[in-house]
């Protein structure tokens, strides 16, 4: 599980890469759940929340709310 402080420190490129990886992982977990191979179904909830965190920070970059992070990096 990713903490919001950690997410906010990442550059935009890294955020997009992590978002794509997380979405791929979520797809795999859903298949595992359907086949009754997923050990802990709560992992899906945690992963969905991580994806929401990533999308929130990416959207902040798009709206230039995260402008201070762009200048600092």
Class of domain 4-72: mainly alpha
Cα(48)–Cα(72) distance, rounded to whole angstroms? 29
Q: For residues 51 and 19, is the Cβ–Cβ distance under 8 A? A: yes
33 three-state secondary structure: helix
pLDDT of residue 51: 97
Confidence tier at 68 by pLDDT (50, 70, 90): low
pLDDT of residue 67: 59
pLDDT mean over 14-19? 96
Residue 45 pLDDT greater than 60, yes or no: yes
Please give the structure tokens belonging to residue 51.
Answer: 């994806």
Residue 50 neighbours by CB distance under 10 Å = 19
Asked whether the beta carbons of 16 and 58 are under 8 A apart, the reply is yes
Share above pLDDT 70 across residues of the chain, in percent, rounded to a whole number:
89
Range with the poorest average pLDDT among 2-16, 22-36, 39-53:
2-16
């Amino acid at each position: 599980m990713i903490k919001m402080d950690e997410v906010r420190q990442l550059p935009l490129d890294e955020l997009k890469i992590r978002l794509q990886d997380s979405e791929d992982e979520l797809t795999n977990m859903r298949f595992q759940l359907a086949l009754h191979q997923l050990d802990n179904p709560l992992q899906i909830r945690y992963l969905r929340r991580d994806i929401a965190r990533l999308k929130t920070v990416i959207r902040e970059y798009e709206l230039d709310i995260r402008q201070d992070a762009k200048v600092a990096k």
